[in-house]
Each structure stands twice: as structure tokens, then as C-alpha cells.
Amino acid sequence: MTDKDLYGGLIRLHILHHAAEEPIFGLGIIEELKHHGYEISAGTLYPMLHGLEKKGYLTSRHERTGRRERRIYEITEHGRIALTEAKVKVRELFGELIEGH
Ligand SMILES: [Zn+2]
């Protein structure tokens, strides 16, 4: 098992969290994750975004600004519910992992 497998769920939750705040795009998320110390390549991120979309947590559309094209992802209602539920679990894990109870 690689660190990537270990952190996969955290990264997905992180993506959902930011998508819940505003529409996101691949490179923006790569930058955001870098701030948090995750070095993630496009080759890893895009399948994750695609997977989240396939599960119905995100929806995407193509956006063209001038000559620039990119895929914009937005959270769905299903994604918001999943994120809310995941927060309960993260809080519990945080309590056990970090606060020791
Ligand atoms: Zn963040």
C-alpha cells in the first residue's frame, strides 16, 4: 500500500469540501492541495475527479474563456449530503487519532 492509497479518501474529501464552497478545476485543486503538503499529479487527480463525478458527487461542464478551455466541477446535492456525513466520521476519527478519546 502506498501513501497515495492511504490519503486517497482524505484528498477526495478535501476536493468535495472545496467544491462545496465554489466551482473548482483541476489545476486549482492541485495548487490547493500543494499548500496542504500533498504533491498530486494531474494523472492522479483527474481520475479522482472523474470517479467523484461517476459516483454522482460532482458534476462537470466544459468552460471556454477566450482560447482557454477547462473543465469546471461543481458539487451535487448528493455530494453535499455525502460530505456532511463524512464530516461526522472525520470528527470522530480526529477525536481518536489526535485527541486520544
Ligand atoms: Zn484546502
Residue 61 CA, distance from chain mean position: 16
Q: What is residue 59's predicted lDDT score, i.e. its pLDDT?
A: 98
Whole-Å CA distances, 43 to 1, 40, 47, 100: 18, 8, 7, 36
The predicted-structure confidence for 12-28, as pLDDT tens digits, reads as follows: 999 999 999 999 999 99
Please tell me the distance between residue 23's alpha carbon and the centre of ligand 1 in angstroms: 13
Asked whether residue 46 carries a pLDDT value surpassing 70, the answer given is yes
What pLDDT shows up at residue 67? 87
Cross-sheet strand order for the sheet of 24-25? 24-25, 68-75, 58-65
For residue 57, what pLDDT band results from cuts at 50, 70 and 90? very high
Query: Which residues lie below 8 Å from residue 35, measured CB to CB, with a gap of 6+?
Result: none
Q: Which domain holds residue 38?
A: 3-97
Separation of CA 14 and ligand 1 centre (Å):
6
pTM: predicted TM-score of the whole model, two decimal places: 0.88
- Angle in degrees, CA 36, 11, 45, rounded to 5: 100
CATH number of domain containing 80: 1.10.10.10
Q: How far is the CA of 29 from the centre of ligand 1 (A)?
A: 8
Number of domains making up the chain: 1
